[in-house]
Amino acid sequence: MKNLKLVKIQEGHEKTQFKVGDITFGKDFVVIAGPCGVETEEQTVKTAEAVKAGGGHMLRGGAFKPRTSPYDFQGLGLKGLKILEKAKQKTHLPIVTEVIDPRDVTWVCEYADILQIGARNMQNFSLLKEVGKANKPVLLKRGMYSTLREWLNCAEYILAEGNPNVILCERGIRTFETYTRNTVDLSIVPAIKELTHLPVVVDPSHGTGKLSLIEPMSLAAVAAGADGLILEVHINPCEAKSDADQQLTPEQFNNIMKKVLKLQKFMSENIFQASEGK
């Protein structure tokens, strides 16, 4: 694709790999899980412990929540980041959290292991440039109306500022379908593999907005070749201040993880054997 100088695969170019804690993106299959929003210390720490017990590798949690309505829960800000830090101290799970303002990037980096750019900010070019100057990996979510070309150009902004550690996240796009919250475009996973060297993860929680669909879409994402998943988990979803309908209980998360990791192991072993046999 024209003008994609840094994200596109070059001849002889290896896939991007980088370590966050004990996990290597682009090599290991990574599950990022946790609550939509950080609400209380007890809720966040207990959820983090459940994520760790279920086999999750990283903790997600929103301290800043850009919402459709200005009257909805907007997150706890700095207090939320400090709660995430406590959860990390207790579980040793790296933290993935969203940054929404270029002015906040420097100090959010003091708490976050990965900076998340949400769908609403995918084309916030000032923010992209700022995280491109940061020394932390960036998880870039696809905008709800964005094409693959537009998405990859946004990744290009980050790489062009000197930050090579970008993770692409498919979180569903807005279509005419109303049964699901969004439409998960799983064809984008192999398309990204064809065009770029960056790792790609799938978010079936936001992608579907329905608990019953999270498991099958998680398994489908593994089968499509995704490098990981990002799932919403809450210790008590019925009390969640945001996205209550799509947050898994710890038990539901455990059940999904057993199937996901089993399928991922099967896929990796058999794909490796097939490639070795060529």
Cβ-contact 35, 44 below 8 angstroms: yes
Domains in the chain: ranges and CATH = 18-276 (3.20.20.70)
Residue showing tokens 């539901």: 252
- Residue 235 near residue 50, CB atoms below 8 Å: yes
Altogether, the residues listed in the chain come to a count of: 278
pLDDT score at 112: 97
**The predicted structure's pLDDT at residue 3:** 80
Scored b (16 or more CB within 10 A) or e, 124-153 reads: beebbbbbbebebbbbbbbbbebebeebbb
- At residue 241, the pLDDT reads 86
pLDDT category at 269 given cuts 50, 70, 90 is confident
Token output for 44:
């966040």
pLDDT tens digit sequence for 185-215: 999 999 999 999 999 999 999 999 999 999 9
Per-residue confidence band for 242, with pLDDT thresholds at 50, 70 and 90: confident
Query: How do residues 17-40 score in pLDDT, each as one tens digit?
Result: 999 999 999 999 999 999 999 999
* Residues 34/233, Cβ–Cβ less than 8 Å: yes
- Give me the pLDDT at residue 245, please: 86
Residue range 61-116, pLDDT digits in tens:
999 877 677 777 777 888 999 999 999 999 999 999 999 999 999 999 999 999 99
Confidence label for 14 from pLDDT (cuts 50, 70 and 90): confident
C-beta of residue 60 within 8 angstroms of C-beta of residue 34: yes
| pTM to 2 decimal places | 0.94
Contacts of residue 269, defined as CB under 8 A and 6 or more positions apart, other chains included, come to: none
